[in-house]
Structure 1
């Protein structure tokens, strides 16, 4: 089937890793038996349906699909793309104010790909907190959840940057990755997020093994004078940011890392500080899920020397 799309949704459809992960999860759901609802009464909600491709994937398995899209141009695309499928009803509405009770039925499955890095800039969490009141007791959500990790970095620009196909920020990772939060979307989630994260800085041996000095001699680092900020022999490093990476848990079997159009890693600036090799930096990270990147706050609480 050929989909009519705008330039943004064209990029989404070209992200085959993203599409295949969602299709596999939807197909797995169908193979699992789809709960207790009898054939003829199986309902799915596709929230933030975009051009309608995920409704299209779910169509063979469900008896009715409610697809909701706020953006009018995307709604028009979905309506056109799905017009041949009588079982799919497309609404142009805000999910957060949508009256699900008027449907007189609950969903066996909610599909909601309103994802972004750490769930900060899109409304996945507030949307699901509202919509899952209308999910059957044995209902499922795709994706099932998200896992967020952080690493200490030194980066060239001191503002929030995404690492995607259009922009490749210059930075170097200075410590191991740590999982700082994990959410199951079936749970009630507080949009106001706060965590203390202990970021371990690489020790001298780890830096030598990764070829750190050779790495910062590369041309892309040289023009930003990265060498001026590091001296392994004197046990001196600097960090000025954290890299947040999100992994999408489609179901118990499928975890999808960042893809070109789904959850690109995010670089968040922090106060620039001097650290020693092997130190641990304790950082407080706060944001509002669905509130936008302007809600991000960071605070360095402590530097723990090894």
Structure 2
């Protein structure tokens, strides 16, 4: 069972593994689907961020709120994934969207899930094939020349303790119980040139670890030992399960959670609403600089 990352060659040698293309563009909701249709790993289904991997927005729950876990588990089962299936996720954006699906599958109790190290770029660099064949639409209906897979038997085994909400964080600000780590770039963390969310800055007391720092210049995850050394420096005296991963809308935070798992540092939790939720609520404090 693979639970963190796999290589392109490893994925290619396991044709029975279930593959999801998580291509997503923050600036264009249609771009991810268009990228998938233009060419994807054979057998891959598209996991659309706006529908499959996010729930309805209320204006107070962030840009990519988690869906109802029952709805998400049903979608996963309808794609044909069963309890014994190995799932592999990939994207074209450094792994942040793929890491979101990786985290969500673990959230509902499916541990046999990994991210393709290097994403589609690594697959193409290994001169492996792409296809435009579409076995399943993002809504679950079949079309094109390939048949839709049979519905799987995946059952919901929710792990609510892997996530926290804003109330949990607000009640512990300034305490040693939590260490918030924000995965956004340094400029947005400081509150400079904020264009996506209502207010600039970060949750008071948060530290900044941009998700891209988990990767080598080639776009692969750093070796486990190096990631462990770097993340232990961020944790300081805190245990890994004190860490709360945050970002803009709950995507790149999952990249940091994946890096922690690769490093063997288990138990960190996700604040899914992240800055897009926190900054939209005027009664919650912010810090800049």
Decide: shared fold, TM above 0.5: no
TM-score, normalised on structure 1?
0.29
TM-score, normalised on structure 2?
0.30
Whose RCO is larger (CA < 8 A, sep 6+)?
2
Q: Which has the higher strand share?
A: 1
